[in-house]
Amino acid sequence: MVLLSLAYQSLKNRKLTTGLTIFSIGLSVALLIGVEQVRLGARESFSNTISQTDLITGARGGALQLLLYSVFRIGSATNNISYDTYVHFQKHPAVAWTIPYSLGDSHRGFRVVGTTNDFYEHYRFRRDRRIEFAQGRLPNGIFDVVLGSDVAATLQYKPGDPVTVTHGISQGRGLLNHDDKPFRVVGVLARTATPVDRSLYVTLFGMEAIHADWADGAPPMLGEETPAAKMTEQNLKVKQITSFLLRAKSRIDTLRLQREINTFADEPLMSIIPGVALAELWRTIGYAEDALAVVSVFVLIVGLLGMLVSLYTSLNERRREMAILRAIGAGPRKIVLLLVAETVLLSAAGAALGVGMVYGLSAAFQPLVERHFGLYLPIQPLSVGSFVYLAAVVVAGLLIGFVPAVKAYRNALADGLSVRL
Amino acid sequence: MMSSNPAVQLNGVNFAYRPGRPVLDIAELRIAAGERIFLFGPSGSGKTTLLGLLTGILKPQSGVVSILGQDLAPLSNAGRDRFRGVHIGYIFQLFNLIPYLSVVENIVLPCRLTPERMQRLRGAAPEQAAKEVAGRLGIGELLHEPVANLSVGQQQRVAAARSLMGTPELVVADEPTSSLDFDHRERFIELLFENCATAGTTLIFVSHDRTLLPMFDRAISLPEINRVRT
């Protein structure tokens, strides 16, 4: 206790170096814990990209591919599924709701998704948040389009603006444009910080309308297009979609439904459970987080070495102090303990400061990060891993303390009572 | 404790910092309990080294160092540190105080570090005892000052107060007055005597300034008892 209070007062006496040392350890700890928190936040945010959907169904193919194009709007499907099949499962007694997706077209690099009002009604992300409109209304007409918030922000579109859909996925203006049938913006979605923000949404009829005259993947001859004015929901028939999301009435039905879909006789289908597929995907991209963690461990080591250097260099100035302590009965062992107590106090203070910085910074930058990176960082209690890190910092401080302590011990023995001034 | 044991008994003590370069070779030195000794010799004659041996900070290569009847040789390093903490008060020439502690914290430090020293206060709070000693040394008003605010003379009195806390049997002062002017020097020594007398404490006062010699019971010239010629 005496030594601890001596250590404390000694550190207090050297305010500047103590402050700087604590600050540098604090920064490294903040980085380490911050990376850990961001990592967990990213995982959390990633696995909550889509919620309440029990199954994603598409044509048979890769599970990862299905997840990527249906949820993340990355890559594309190799096959479509027939609309009749979709209706079959939509009306299935075990199904609560479905959301159809018709994919394959784009506008200036953003995907165009054909869907129904079920999307705005049932789609959920981050557990229970739903799609909301920032401006405008639901798409009712065939040529109505609704923009995700990133699309609206990037392209500076507002309700009333015309949008020409490009056939296929291409950056900028594509080769084949459906410019005979321009869409009109009727609404902009509120920000979700998920891939929903990076798409344009039209109705299934709209999707069908722009491809109505196409045959075998080729556009109609010039002059042979059906004029947009003649397109009505009555004379359009939706023939196929790309995939659909499905919610079972009870969770118990999910696996039974999945089996039923996967063994559907009329058409080769595949359905995946989003949670499982997301976890698998996360594992494959998890190397990045390990790299980040390794870097922050090195930063921490640098911070601790800074503490070692500052204590070690202060020892020469403190030889006199050590000699006095020896003369009044503090043996070398107590001098070692005094210095170790100092490093432990420093590293513990640094650890506490680091944790404070993490919470302060995440509170300050949470909205900014969500807006710019689409990454929602929940302010959550420290993970078990973070506590392990903090304990490791204090233990490392303790071990590092022995280096100057042993030096002080040697000095104390060599100097005895006579430090020449 | 004040038995017939001498405060200091040295027999055939040899000491060298490096092999082949002897610093001290003392056939016999005996200081009785309660004596006030003036130990003198020129700079570099080994005065501080001798004090190191007496306080158990240095270990002789041969010979017996017995303090208050206790032979220091069989004690472990930690044991000697403890012995010093319990029985010996030490005053340096200069810079006696821990700079980041207040006056009173400096004075009570030996009691905090050594439980036996605390026990000898007989139940009094160390701060109370410190106030009493400081009062007798005329620094009672300075207790809560930071040590940096003190003059050299005041600092030396604080060091004296610290060495006297918990009435150690032996007080060793290594040229404590060399940076004081003559009037302060005499006054300081008188105060030290008064305080040592109340507890029967043995005082070994080291100096090269022989004008102080007449104030002491006995003077020992180190060059005369040291057989190493420097």
B/e letters for A395-417, b = 16+ CB within 10 Å, e = fewer, are ebbeebbeebbebbbebbeebbb
> What is the number of other CB atoms lying within 10 angstroms of the CB of residue A373?
12
Say yes or no: ipTM exceeds 0.85: no
Residues B84-90 have a mean pLDDT of 88
Q: What is the mean pLDDT of residues A173-179?
A: 70
Residue among A187, A83, A65, A87 at smallest CA distance from A131: A187
DSSP-derived secondary structure letter, B213: G
More confident residue, B67 or A231: B67
Q: Computed from CA positions of residues A168, A170, A173, A175, in that sequence, does the dihedral angle turn out positive or negative?
A: negative
Share of chain A above pLDDT 70, in %: 92
Q: What is the pLDDT of residues B202-213, one digit of tens each?
A: 999 998 888 888
> Domain ranges in chain A?
2-46+286-415, 55-272
User: Is B13 part of a structural domain of the chain?
Assistant: no
Q: Is B100 in contact with A9 (Cβ distance < 8 A)? A: yes
A420 pLDDT higher than 60 = no
pLDDT in tens, A127-168: 888 999 999 899 988 899 999 998 999 999 989 999 988 887
The pLDDT value recorded for residue B34 is 86
pLDDT in tens, B172-193: 988 888 777 777 788 888 888 8
Residue B159 included in any domain: yes
User: What percent of chain B is predicted at pLDDT more than 90?
Assistant: 3
Q: What is the pLDDT of residue A90?
A: 93
Q: What is the DSSP string of B148-212?
A: GGS-HHHHHHHHHHHHHTT--SEEEEESTTTTS-HHHHHHHHHHHHHHHHHHT-EEEEEES-GGG
pLDDT digits (tens, 9 = 90+) for A210-266: 887 776 666 766 666 677 666 777 778 888 999 999 999 988 889 999 999 999 999
CA angle A303, A305, A309 (to 5 degrees): 120
Residues A301-326 have a mean pLDDT of 81
pTM above 0.95, yes or no: no
Instruction: Give A182-206 pLDDT, tens digit per residue.
Output: 899 999 999 888 889 989 999 999 8
Closest in A12, A324, A332 to B98, CB measured: A324
Cβ contact, residue pair B95, A12, below 8 Å: no
Q: Which residue numbers of A have CB closer than 8 Å to B's CBs? A: 2, 6, 9-10, 12-13, 320-321, 324-334, 416-418, 421
pLDDT tens-place string over residues B15-32: 888 888 888 888 888 888
State the nearest Cα–Cα gap between B81 and chain A, in angstroms. 5
Burial of A292 (0-12, 13-18, 19+ CB in 10 A): middle
State how far the Cα of A60 lies from the Cα of A78, in Å rounded to an integer. Answer: 9
Best CA proximity match to A300, nearest among A9, A28, A18: A28
Q: How far apart are CA B192 and CA B157, in angstroms?
A: 9
Q: Each residue of A334-343: pLDDT tens digit? A: 888 888 888 8
Inter-chain touch B113–A334, beta carbons under 8 Å: yes
State which residues form the domain around B156: 34-59+77-225
User: Tokens 């045959």 label which residue?
Assistant: A215
Position B85 scores a pLDDT of: 87
Q: CA nearest B163 in A: which residue? A: A328
CATH code where residue B213 lies: 3.40.50.300
Tens of pLDDT, residue by residue over B102-143, are 889 888 888 888 888 888 877 778 888 888 888 888 888 888
Contacts of A288 (CB under 8 A, 6+ apart): none
Tell which wins on pLDDT, A366 or B67. Answer: B67
CA distance B144 to B228: 47
Residue B25 domain flag: no
Does a structural domain hold residue B53? yes
CB contact under 8 A, B81 and A416: no
Average of per-residue pLDDT across A15-26? 88
pLDDT at B199: 80
Q: Which of A18, A14, A13, A9 is nearest to A306 (CA)?
A: A18
Task: Enumerate the residues of chain B whose CB falls inside 8 A of the CB of residue A18.
Answer: none
Q: Which of A92, A61, A412, A36 is nearest to A271 (CA)?
A: A61
Domain count, chain B: 1
Please report the pLDDT score of residue A221 as a whole number.
66
Whether B1 shows a pLDDT value over 50: the answer reads: no
Q: How far apart are CA A91 and CA A98, in angstroms?
A: 9
State residue A271's pLDDT score: 94
Show residues of chain B in contact with A332, CB under 8 Å. 77, 81
Average pLDDT of the segment spanning B60-78: 87
State the DSSP H helix or E strand holding residue B26, giving kind and residue range, or none if neither. Answer: strand B21-31
Question: Quick check: A29 pLDDT over 50?
Answer: yes
Q: Do B98 and A416 touch (CB under 8 A)?
A: no
**Is residue B5, in this structure, part of any structural domain at all?**
no
- Asked whether residue B148 is assigned to any structural domain, the reply reads yes
pLDDT exceeds cutoff 90 at A310: no
Nearest chain B residue to A5 by CA distance is: B101
Comparing alpha-carbon positions, the chain B residue that sits nearest to A323 is B96
**What does the pLDDT read at residue B7?**
87
Burial class (CB in 10 A: 0-12, 13-18, 19+), B151: exposed
Q: What is the pLDDT of residue A353?
A: 94
- Candidates A9, A330, A416; nearest CB to B52: A416
The whole-number pLDDT of residue A57 equals: 95
Do the chains contact at A329 and B51, CB–CB below 8 Å? no
B46 within 8 A of B23, measured Cβ to Cβ: yes
pLDDT at position B2: 45
Answer yes or no: is B97 within a domain.
Answer: yes
3-class SS of residue B116: helix
Span B47-52, average pLDDT: 86
- Exposure class string for B91-123: b at 16+ Cβ within 10 A, else e: bbbebbbbbbbbbbbbbbbbbbbbeebbebbee
B82 contacts A416? CB cut-off 8 A: no
Given this model, what pLDDT does residue A416 score? Answer: 65
Q: Would you say residue A421 has pLDDT above 50?
A: no
